[in-house]
Structure 1
Amino acid sequence: MATPISHVSRVRALYKGILKLHRGLPLEMKAIGDQYVKSEFRLHKSAPHQETKIFMSEWTKYYITLAKQLGQRKQIQTIGVELSEELMDNFREEQIGQLMELLKESHKPMKEGS
């Protein structure tokens, strides 16, 4: 009989999997993404059970979406998805602030030599 995988092992596997997928992103996106993932996983280390379930579900969806997008063999690769208004309504004020910071960072001009 197989032993059940612990919650900590699932979290660690998802975290490492996301960081591994980020290797396929352009350098600027990878840097921003890695920093954000590390911060979010650290912040949710001691989150309540219900919040942890939602957290893992959403990050698993992110992992699957990014894996599909990176797996596409197109000339122009599309990364990301539009967030629905319904989803945005569920975000806390600090999460909206984080999204705005990510948006600003992602629109900065690339530095020469990068």
Structure 2
Amino acid sequence: MVRPRRPERPTQTPLLPPLKLYRSILRAHAHKLPPELRQFGDQYVKKEFKDHKNVDNPLHIVGFLTEWQDYLKQLDGGKWLDGKLSKQDLEKMSPEQIGQLYELMEATKKIGQQEAAA
């Protein structure tokens, strides 16, 4: 009897523990981001991790850590410079997340304008 083959799963990197991931992101900011973006990025990461500190829903925790780990990979690979948000990713976001994204966009525009004026 021939068994059907299991579909192959892509190899996934195990999730980093929250504190290790947090520290790794801040280290990556120090080495990969320009100083004016580093301060903004550090504040944002600190706020997000603090806001999610007491979450106890396992699915939410895994999703949170997965997204931040993907962000870390983008930073390390230099892909953050030309990263774009897909329509599918945008459709998955809550209105609150879209509002945060808009605030992030406005803050980075201000930084860009300040650099251009200097």
Long gaps (5+) in structure 1: 1-6, 71-77
- Aligned partner of 2:36 in structure 1 is 28
Aligned mates of 1:82, 1:97 — CA distance in 2 = 17
Moved over 2 A (4+): none
TM-score (norm 2): 0.75
Give, in angstroms, the shift of residue 95 of structure 1. Answer: 0.9
- Do the aligned partners of 1:22 and 1:34 also contact (CA within 8 Å) in 2? yes
- Give the percent of matched residue pairs that are identical in Structure 1 and Structure 2: 34
Equivalence for 1:89: 91
Name which one, 1 or 2, has greater alpha-carbon Rg. 2
Length, aligned pairs only? 99
Note the 1:1-114 alignment, pairs <5 A.
10-23=17-30, 24-47=32-55, 48-69=57-78, 79-108=81-110, 109-110=113-114
| Structural RMSD (CA) | 2.2
Structure 2 residues without counterparts, runs of 5 or longer: 1-14
